[in-house]
Amino acid sequence: MNLWRPLFMLVLLASLSGCLATFDEPIAPGQKAPAGLMGHWRARDAFGNALRLSLRPAPGGRYTAINYQKGSAGPRDEVTFTVTRHGGRWYASAPMPKAYGGRFALVGFELSGEGELVVYSLDLQRLQQAISQGALAGDRFETEEGQGVAIRSTPAQVFAWLDDPANSDVFVETARYSRAAQ
């Protein structure tokens, strides 16, 4: 069971050709998520399969994402994550299984004016370019699903790089959820 799937549904390694960026440090818990984030969401993956996602508060300034399979009342995966708002974007961070480096994933997200939850991954090639140019520290690694990048820079360095308008193309939309009825 892949614990990273609930929040990062379409950041699935399959949708990114197996590419994954991970980080040494998670987002510190405690920042309050936008009120509209909590609740039930639905989408379709690249294959047309129905996706259901439930987001709710968890103890200690954290949140829980639960992914449900089509036709099943029980959860498929569950993960606890933290959020922060930095610059003009919201971010979520969750631990990754050992098979994917055992570190932390980071995605951007926003609540659109149309009431959708839009999730953004970080473009692996742009991150590799930043590493080769010395803007970020990191290494490449291999997973069961393909290549990844382990970013070793501090969160302050990562957010400073992400906040730079010259790097706005690092965000790639990977999921668009609409509000689901309970």
8-state DSSP, 180: -
- Do the domain assignments include residue 132? yes
- Do the domain assignments include residue 137? yes
CA distances from 112 to 86, 89, 98, 159 (A): 17, 12, 33, 22
- Do the domain assignments include residue 2? no
CB atoms within 10 A of CB 55: 21
- Do the domain assignments include residue 156? yes
Backbone phi and psi for residue 151, each to the nearest 5 degrees, phi listed first = -85, 125
- Do the domain assignments include residue 121? yes
- Do the domain assignments include residue 4? no
Nearest Cα residue to 106 out of 60, 66, 69, 153: 153
Q: What is the pTM of this model?
A: 0.82
Structure tokens at 80: 């606890």
CB 40 within 8 Å of CB 182: yes
Structural domain count, the chain: 1
Supply the range of the domain harboring residue 57: 9-179
Backbone phi and psi for residue 19, each to the nearest 5 degrees, phi listed first = -85, 140
pLDDT in single tens digits along all 182 residues of the chain: 343 444 443 343 323 334 578 888 888 888 899 989 999 999 887 788 788 889 999 999 999 998 876 655 655 678 899 999 988 889 999 988 777 677 898 889 999 989 999 989 899 899 999 999 999 999 988 777 677 888 999 999 999 999 999 998 899 888 899 998 76
Backbone phi and psi for residue 87, each to the nearest 5 degrees, phi listed first = 65, -135
